[in-house]
Amino acid sequence: MRIGLVAHDKKKQDLVDWVMLHQKVLGTHKLFATGTTGGRIVEASGLEITLLKSGPLGGDAQLGAMIVEGELDACIFFIDPLTALPHDVDVKALTRLATLYDVPFACNRSTADAVLAAF
């Protein structure tokens, strides 16, 4: 499976912790991540991840384009609902595309566990 990984700043450590918990399973999948998030995951886990741009610099849009092109099977996006973001439009577009193209989209630990279990 091809899985996109991204997290807002205040949720990056939560995503790193989640990846570490599921490192063995995730290592059997093709992983993509936005730049900063992916860098932190690689540093902590050593997993092979294709790094995209940072979210605010287009990484969220890159993941959206991958969904449209059928190149992503799921997206794990740990969202911080309490922080306003300057690139909120990109986040909404990614959410909309995942919904439109019926791609599993996990926005917290519980849904990420469910998506990974489904694979």
pTM of the model: 0.94
* Active site residues per annotation: 60
pLDDT in tens, 1-57: 999 999 999 999 999 999 999 999 999 999 999 999 999 999 999 999 999 999 888
Q: Which of 70, 74, 37, 73 is nearest to 53 (CA)?
A: 37
C-alpha angle 59-65-67 in degrees, rounded to nearest 5:
110
d(CA 61, CA 90): 6
Are the C-beta atoms of residues 60 and 87 closer than 8 Å to each other? Answer: yes
Domains of the chain are: 2-118 (3.40.50.1380)
pLDDT in tens, 89-99: 888 899 999 99
